Amino acid sequence: MPARPTSKSFMANDYPSDPEADIYLLADTWTSAAGVAHETLALVVNSQDCDEQITLLLPTGDNAHALSWISSQGMVSIVQSTQMTRTGIFDDQRSWLLNIALVYLAFATPHPNLQPQDLVLFTGALV
């Protein structure tokens, strides 16, 4: 009996054949013109199979003013997006990133049990 013909859909070509993505946490310090040192954190998800890369800038205690509900919700949306899927990310990796995004969302939602210094502790634990 001859083999059944196979067809590739357009969607199948959009995703890597073997899911695999590297995740990096980049911590850096830069100095403003006023001589003030600022800390930055970035999570980079990089595909090994295609040119897909996503960078999430994470607020630290240093730039907690940049933390808002909208930016945190955006981080959650990016983690759950098809663009993130195209990086070849494993389900466990996506869950880990989603947990981090949800912690930032919790900090962006006014809650009496979360203080700004808790964000400093959290970002310190990430590094």
Residue-by-residue pLDDT tens, the chain, 127 positions: 555 444 444 454 555 455 578 999 998 888 888 888 878 889 999 988 778 899 998 887 766 666 788 889 999 999 999 999 989 999 999 999 999 999 999 888 878 888 878 888 888 888 8
pLDDT of the residue at 63? 64
Number of structural domains in the chain: 1
Between CA 30 and CA 37 the distance in angstroms is: 6
CA distance 68 to 48: 32
Q: The tokens of 96 are what? A: 């880990």
The verdict on residue 27 lying in a domain is yes
Containing structural domain, residue 105: 22-121
Q: What is the pTM of this model?
A: 0.74
- Structure-token match 């890597």, residue found: 16
- 126 assigned to some structural domain: no
Residue 38 lies in a domain: yes
User: Does 8 map to a domain?
Assistant: no
Q: Which residues face 24 on adjacent strands?
A: 44
Whether 15 is in a domain gets the answer no
In a domain, 11, yes or no: no
- Alpha carbon distance 59, 77 (integer Å): 17
Residue 88 falls inside a structural domain = yes
In a domain, 5, yes or no: no
What are 46's strand-pairing partners?
22, 53
